[in-house]
């Protein structure tokens, strides 16, 4: 919607509420809007026209309305099928039988930059079809497996691995000694408590391995 003020600042003066009117359309689409003519002086004829660049995009349902106080002029904006994505030009308002003319810019359509979507490496992929969804899922799975493999290799490559081996060896030796003690008849611990103690040690070893390497 555009408001046009006539005779407000003086005889035949023309003012616009908006210097630019943007109408987002795609080829084959159509949209209507209104130009509201507000006259602050004597009743007069107002002539509406458009640049040649907008001839196939703009249609005035009334090109020369008679404005006593306020008139609403419907305008149809369209982009023909196969037309340009972006169309720009001026709509002119002429008063005083051609003595004064002024215009405002109209942008119809989308610019090429509006339709480009740049996906960063950290952005989630936008799936628009079965093939793209499957490809994205395979890519994510490959990335996860690659990350697990890298973590596993880095665990072996750092200096803490030797310490882990020593701790694991010590625990294993202790486990073997406890097992031999359990098999002997020394009677230091009852069979029940020996079994409980061995279970705790075995669980601790397994937990340590899982936490350290997974």
| pTM for the full predicted model | 0.52
- Residue 110 pLDDT level (bands cut at 50, 70, 90): confident
CA nearest neighbour of 48 among 10, 16, 79, 86? 16
* pLDDT recorded at residue 159: 55
Extents of the domains making up the chain = 2-115, 159-214
Average pLDDT over every residue of 168-183: 66
Q: What is the pLDDT of residues 56-108, one digit of tens each?
A: 999 999 999 999 999 999 999 999 998 889 999 999 999 999 999 999 999 99
For residue 93, the tally of other CB atoms under 10 A from its CB is 21
For 38, the 3-state DSSP assignment is strand
How many other CB atoms are there within 10 angstroms of residue 2's CB atom? 20
pLDDT at 119: 43
Options 2.60.40.10, 3.40.50.12140, 3.40.50.1820, 3.20.20.140; CATH of 2-115? 2.60.40.10
The runs of H, that is alpha helices, within 31-187 are 130-157, 160-183
Chain-centroid distance, C-alpha 10: 48
pLDDT tier, 150 (very low <50, low <70, confident <90, very high otherwise)? low
């Amino acid at each position: 919607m555009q408001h046009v003020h006539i005779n407000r600042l003086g005889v035949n003066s023309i003012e616009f509420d908006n210097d630019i009117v943007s109408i987002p359309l795609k080829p084959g689409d159509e949209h209507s809007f209104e130009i509201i003519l507000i006259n602050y002086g004597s009743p007069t004829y107002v002539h509406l026209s458009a640049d040649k660049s907008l001839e196939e995009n703009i249609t005035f349902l009334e090109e020369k309305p008679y404005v006593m106080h306020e008139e609403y002029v419907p305008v149809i904006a369209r982009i023909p099928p196969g037309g340009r994505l972006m169309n720009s030009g001026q709509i002119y308002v002429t008063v005083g039988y051609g003595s004064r003319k002024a215009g405002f810019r109209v942008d119809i359509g989308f610019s090429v930059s509006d339709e480009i979507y740049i996906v960063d490496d950290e952005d989630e992929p936008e799936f628009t079809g079965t093939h793209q969804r499957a490809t994205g899922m395979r890519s994510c799975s490959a990335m996860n497996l690659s990350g697990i493999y890298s973590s596993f290799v880095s665990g072996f490559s750092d200096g803490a691995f030797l310490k882990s081996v020593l701790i694991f060896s010590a625990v294993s030796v202790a486990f073997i000694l406890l097992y031999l003690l359990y098999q002997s008849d020394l009677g230091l611990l009852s069979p029940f408590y020996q079994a409980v103690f061995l279970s705790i040690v075995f669980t601790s070893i397994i937990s340590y391995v899982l936490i350290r390497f997974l």
